[in-house]
C-alpha cells in the first residue's frame, strides 16, 4: 500500500476513534460543539435535506405572532429564518450554553435588522424556561450534547403551551447523533405524543406534540396526511 493510502486510512481511523470517545464522554459530561467551530455550524449541510434550515422551518407551521424557543441555537442558523417568519409581533428566545455562540448570533440579528430575538445564556436543565410560554420549540442537533436528556425534555414539555410542537433534528454526521428509537422513548417518557417523522433513520426531523390544545397543529403541504399518518419518509 502507498504512503498516501496509509495516511488516509490512519486519519479516517483516528477520526472514528475521536468521535466514538467524544460520544461516550458526552453521556457523562457537557461537551458542547466548540465555539471555534461555529463557522461550520452556520452552514447548511449539502448532503442532508432534513438538516437544512429552510426545510426545518418550513415544517413548523409558523404564523406571525408566535412564540418560539430555539434551544441550543448556536450562531442562529435556525433563529434568524424563524424570527423573519414570525415577524415583529412574534418572539424567538434563542438559548445557548455558550456565550461565544450567542455573541455571533447578536452580530447576525443586528445585521439582519431583527428586533424580535431574545438571547438566553443558559443550559437546558437549568430551569430557566418557565411554564407554557412557547408555541414551538426547536432542538436541532443538540440533544446528544446534553448529559441529562430526560430532564431537558421534561423542561421543554413544561415550557410548551398545550398543542405546541417540539421539533427535533438529528443527522448521522453529527458526532452526538441520537437514533430515532432513543429520542422517541425519551420524548414519550416526558409526556409528548409523536406527530410526524421526516427523512430516514440516519437523517431526520421528528415532531412531538404536547397535547391538550386546540387539536392537531396544521402541517404545511403534506399536512393532513401527516396528521392522519405521522410517518413521512423520503430519501
Ligand X SMILES: C[S@@+](CC[C@H](N)C(=O)[O-])C[C@H]1O[C@@H](n2cnc3c(N)ncnc32)[C@H](O)[C@@H]1O
The residues binding ligand X (CB under 6 A) are: 30, 32-33, 41, 72-74, 77-78, 95-98, 101, 123-124, 140-142, 145-146
Coil, helix or strand at residue 233: strand
Give the nearer residue to ligand X in terms of CB position, either 177 or 230: 177
Q: Give the integer Cα–Cα distance in Å for 223 and 235.
A: 19
- At closest approach, how far in Å is the CB of 167 from ligand X? 11
- At closest approach, how far in Å is the CB of 228 from ligand X? 29
Strands (E) located in the chain? 67-71, 91-96, 117-121, 134-140, 160-171, 193-200, 203-209, 231-233
Which residues have CB under 8 Å from 22's CB, separation 6+?
A: 31, 175, 176
- At closest approach, how far in Å is the CB of 97 from ligand X? 4
The C-alpha cell at 228 is: 392522519
Give the nearer residue to ligand X in terms of CB position, either 77 or 195: 77
- At closest approach, how far in Å is the CB of 137 from ligand X? 12
- At closest approach, how far in Å is the CB of 102 from ligand X? 9
Give the nearer residue to ligand X in terms of CB position, either 128 or 232: 128
Q: What is the DSSP letter of 214?
A: S
Give the nearer residue to ligand X in terms of CB position, either 96 or 209: 96
Angle formed by the axes of helices 180-190 and 149-159, nearest 10°: 50
- At closest approach, how far in Å is the CB of 20 from ligand X? 18
Give the nearer residue to ligand X in terms of CB position, either 37 or 225: 37
Question: Closest by alpha carbon to 148, among 98, 105, 186, 191?
Answer: 186
Give the nearer residue to ligand X in terms of CB position, either 116 or 141: 141
Contact yes or no for 179/201 (Cβ under 8 A): yes
Contact yes or no for 102/35 (Cβ under 8 A): no
Contact yes or no for 196/59 (Cβ under 8 A): yes
Coil, helix or strand at residue 193: strand
- At closest approach, how far in Å is the CB of 130 from ligand X? 15
Greatest Cα-to-Cα distance within the chain, rounded to the nearest angstrom: 65
Contact yes or no for 62/87 (Cβ under 8 A): no
Give the nearer residue to ligand X in terms of CB position, either 41 or 160: 41
Amino acid at each position: 500500500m502507498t504512503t498516501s493510502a496509509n495516511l488516509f486510512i490512519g486519519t479516517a481511523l483516528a477520526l472514528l476513534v475521536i468521535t466514538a470517545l467524544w460520544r461516550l464522554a458526552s453521556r457523562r459530561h457537557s461537551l458542547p460543539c466548540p465555539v471555534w467551530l461555529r463557522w461550520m455550524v452556520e452552514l447548511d449541510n449539502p448532503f442532508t435535506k432534513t438538516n437544512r434550515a429552510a426545510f426545518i422551518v418550513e415544517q413548523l407551521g409558523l404564523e406571525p405572532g408566535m412564540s418560539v424557543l430555539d434551544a441550543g441555537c448556536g450562531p442562529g442558523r435556525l433563529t434568524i429564518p424563524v424570527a423573519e417568519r414570525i415577524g415583529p409581533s412574534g418572539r424567538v428566545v434563542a438559548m445557548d450554553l455558550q456565550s461565544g455562540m450567542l455573541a455571533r448570533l447578536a452580530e447576525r440579528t443586528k445585521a439582519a435588522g431583527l428586533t424580535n430575538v431574545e438571547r438566553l445564556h443558559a443550559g437546558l436543565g437549568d430551569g430557566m424556561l418557565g411554564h407554557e410560554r412557547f408555541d414551538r420549540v426547536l432542538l436541532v442537533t443538540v440533544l446528544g450534547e446534553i448529559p441529562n436528556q430526560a430532564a431537558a425534555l421534561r423542561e421543554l414539555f413544561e415550557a410548551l403551551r398545550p398543542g405546541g410542537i417540539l421539533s427535533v433534528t438529528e443527522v448521522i454526521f453529527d458526532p452526538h447523533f441520537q437514533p430515532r428509537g432513543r429520542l422517541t422513548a425519551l420524548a414519550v417518557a416526558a409526556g409528548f405524543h409523536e406527530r410526524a417523522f421526516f427523512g430516514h433513520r440516519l437523517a431526520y426531523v421528528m415532531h412531538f406534540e404536547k397535547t391538550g390544545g386546540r387539536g392537531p397543529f396544521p402541517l404545511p403541504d403534506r399536512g393532513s396526511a401527516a396528521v392522519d399518518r405521522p410517518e413521512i419518509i423520503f430519501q
